Amino acid sequence: MNKQQTAPAPDVPAPLMRSVLSALAKTTALATLGTALMFFVNLLLVLIVGKTFIAPLLILGLVTLFASGLACLRFRLAPALAALAVLVGGISLFSVPIHQYNITHPGEAATFISDLLLLAFAAVAVVAGLAATIQNYQRRERPTPRSLRPLLTMFTALVIGMMLVSLMATVNATTSAASTTTNGEPTVHLSPTTFVQNVVLVPKGSKLLLIDDGNYDHVLQNGFWQGAAPHSLAEPGAPTVQNRDINGGSLEIGPFTTAGIYHLYCTIHVGMDLTIVVQ
């Protein structure tokens, strides 16, 4: 009898559409969603604290929110497109000096943690998105990588640890703020939009040293903010500070020869006030 010979089945390319989402694709979608949410959190922080609406943050949040939905679609390039959207959004955000400052100053917990979480979500989305795309093109079956859960667990623990360190640094900075000195001179640092501490103790007869922690433009004047309105004030006994520019470097004010409570504010940044207690 003649045995019927069957030709081997030809290789069939992976279909353009996927039947189910892989674990890596789901991770990409969730991390992209987390990135979008952190863009919105940053937007709210700036709106509440700085009383400023930053339209690019809203746009980046909406784009990454759309990308998180895109990652849930069942075609092979979806995770890569979501990863690309997150990567472009992250680069756009951290090219702004204020966010570079935030992520390098854990002692300011609110801004550090918000940018840290955004960066963490973005990193997971990019790595998982690229891995999911490679997996889609390599095989039909997409098993969950054995290392995925341990890696995510370790990364989550690292991020939580950094958040705890930031909170402790913020508490320590708050409790020691009044005694910060440089070569015995009372010192206050300036962040992009605030005085790092809002109250400083200055011994009678001493000067106050202000240090800009980056090339951030500030214009200082006697007085304070009343809500969103600046209130210039000539205070008897206080050195006159009138439209003093500082953009990087440092600035000395004083000496303060009369005991009392005095105020400085930045005319550019709403709510940027400093109370000076001379005793």
What CATH number is associated with residue 249? 2.60.40.420
On whether residue 12 sits in a domain, the answer given is no
176 vs 72 pLDDT, higher one = 72
* 159 — pLDDT class (breaks 50, 70, 90): very high
pLDDT digits (tens, 9 = 90+) for 168-225: 887 776 555 545 777 778 888 888 888 888 888 888 888 999 988 777 788 999 988 8
Query: Do 135 and 251 belong to one domain?
Result: no
On whether residue 7 sits in a domain, the answer given is no
Range of the domain at 241: 180-278
Q: What is the CA radius of gyration of the chain?
A: 27
Closest CA to 177 of 161, 164, 162, 188: 188
Query: Do 117 and 205 belong to one domain?
Result: no
Q: Which of 9-13, 86-90, 264-268 has the highest mean pLDDT?
A: 86-90
Question: Would the pLDDT of 75 be above 90?
Answer: no
Is-contact 71 78, C-beta < 8 A?
yes
pLDDT digits (tens, 9 = 90+) for 239-263: 888 888 888 788 898 888 988 889 9
Is-contact 279 239, C-beta < 8 A?
no
What rounded mean pLDDT belongs to the chain? Answer: 85
Query: Do 203 and 87 belong to one domain?
Result: no
Is-contact 100 116, C-beta < 8 A?
no
On whether residue 33 sits in a domain, the answer given is yes
On whether residue 81 sits in a domain, the answer given is yes
Query: Do 192 and 62 belong to one domain?
Result: no
Question: Would the pLDDT of 141 be above 70?
Answer: no
HSE at residue 261, side-chain half, CA atoms within 13 A, is 6
pTM value is: 0.70
**Dist. CA 219–CA 225, nearest whole Å:** 13
Listed in sequence order, the residues at least 6 apart from 106 whose beta carbon sits closer than 8 Å to its beta carbon are 112, 162, 165, 166, 169, 170
Strands 229-232 and 244-247: unpaired
Question: Would the pLDDT of 142 be above 70?
Answer: no
Query: Of 176, 211, 232, at which residue does a domain stop?
Result: 176
Exposed, middle or buried by CB within 10 Å (0-12, 13-18, 19+), for 278? buried
pLDDT given for residue 1 in this prediction: 46
pLDDT given for residue 124 in this prediction: 96
- Per-residue H/E/C for the chain: CCCCCCCCCCCCCCCCECCCCCHHHHHHHHHHHHHHHHHHHHHHHHHHHCCCCCHHHHHHHHHHHHHHHHHCCCECCHHHHHHHHHHHHHHHHHCCHHHHHHHCCCCCHHHHHHHHHHHHHHHHHHHHHHHHHHHHHHCCCCCCCCCHHHHHHHHHHHHHHHHHHHHHHHHHHHHHHHHCEECCEEEEEECCCCECCCEEEECCCCCEEEEECCCCEEEEEEEEEECCEEEECCCCCCCCCCCEEEECCEEEECCCCCCEEEEEEECCCCCCEEEEEEC
pLDDT given for residue 139 in this prediction: 62
**Dist. CA 73–CA 50, nearest whole Å:** 38
pLDDT given for residue 16 in this prediction: 52
pLDDT given for residue 272 in this prediction: 87
pLDDT digits (tens, 9 = 90+) for 78-114: 999 999 999 999 999 988 878 888 888 887 788 899 9
Query: Do 117 and 242 belong to one domain?
Result: no
**Dist. CA 252–CA 235, nearest whole Å:** 18
Query: Do 37 and 119 belong to one domain?
Result: yes
68 vs 137 pLDDT, higher one = 68
pLDDT digits (tens, 9 = 90+) for 27-53: 999 999 999 999 999 999 888 876 778
Number of domains in the chain: 2
> What is the average pLDDT across 2-8?
51
pLDDT given for residue 19 in this prediction: 56
pLDDT digits (tens, 9 = 90+) for 125-135: 999 999 999 98
